Amino acid sequence: MTVINTLPILIEESQDDGYVVANVAFTELGGGVVEDVTLSGATSDLSVQVPQGARIEAVTARVMEAVTGGGVTGFNVGDAGDGGGLAANATRYASALGISAGATGGGFAGGATIAYDGAVIIRLAAIGGTFSGGRVRVRASWTPLTLPEA
């Protein structure tokens, strides 16, 4: 698993020899996680939660080792809900992804970004059966809600 930290940037330029300059304060670029998920059961979750108040930009997946399981014909990429106003949605980011190694998919939440009221888990759900094996690399990208410093 790789956690992609938020990266504050400070850009400062000074006026020198007649050049016009700008002073841009810290800006949050975003964060996210890349994690390999070993599949088992009806659903498999990422171990890292999307932080409370974060806005999901996209979730993508790549099958690293073929997905196996009795009756499994594909899988969905969604979430477990945020415990607040946003209910779980098994297909929020992708539906009916392939099970062969190398299959890819994912995207935005219905073409829009989603802001969660609480921390949320990204979930992979088997279609047609239960997972008995396989490994999927998932990348979730988000922009955190950050408060100004005192």
- pTM for the complete prediction? 0.77
Question: DSSP secondary-structure letter at 65?
Answer: E
- Model pLDDT, residue 25: 38
Q: What H or E segment, with its residue span, contains residue 142?
A: strand 133-143
Structural domain count, the chain: 1
Phi–psi pair at 47, nearest 5 degrees = -80, -20
Question: Which residues contact residue 14 at a Cβ distance below 8 angstroms, ignoring those fewer than 6 apart?
Answer: 21
In the chain, the N- to C-terminal Cα span, in Å, equals 33
Q: Is residue 70 part of a domain?
A: yes
pLDDT single digits (tens) 8-47: 433 334 444 443 334 333 334 567 889 999 999 999 999 9
Q: Is residue 107 part of a domain?
A: yes
Q: Is residue 114 part of a domain?
A: yes
Instruction: Identify which of 108, 77, 110 has the alpha carbon closest to the alpha carbon of residue 95.
Output: 77
Q: Is residue 50 part of a domain?
A: yes
Q: Is residue 9 part of a domain?
A: no
**Average pLDDT, integer, range 113-131:** 89
63: domain range? 30-143
- Model pLDDT, residue 77: 94
CATH of residue 62: 2.60.120
